[in-house]
Amino acid sequence: MPDTLGHAGAVQISGNRSFYARTVGVVNLKKIVGFLVIALVVFYIFTQPDNAAGSLESIGTTLRNGADACIRFFDRLVQ
């Protein structure tokens, strides 16, 4: 079956169009959810900048502590 664009490696659409419609629907839903999350984060930053900064600082502290724990683990592992 030839591909739809005439190029090697292009996506081929088979007779099962419901699968194609579901795939496109999932991709569009992921984009919509991503845009909504970004919009909510921006809204949160604009309406409550102090709380947003505190949340980001807390996330940064957690990531830093996790990185320190991993470094200590590997240091003890190679000793």
Q: pLDDT tens digits for 4-38? A: 555 555 555 555 556 665 666 677 888 899 999 99
Average pLDDT over residues 28-55: 93
Model confidence at 76: pLDDT above 90: yes
Q: How sure is the predictor about 79, in pLDDT bands with cuts at 50, 70 and 90?
A: confident
The number of CA neighbours under 13 Å toward the Cβ of 20 is: 7
Specify the pLDDT at position 30: 85
**Chain-wide mean pLDDT for the chain?**
81
Yes or no: say if 12 and 1 are a contact pair by the CB < 8 Å rule. yes
- Location of structure tokens 């099962």: 16
At residue 3, what is the residue type?
Answer: D
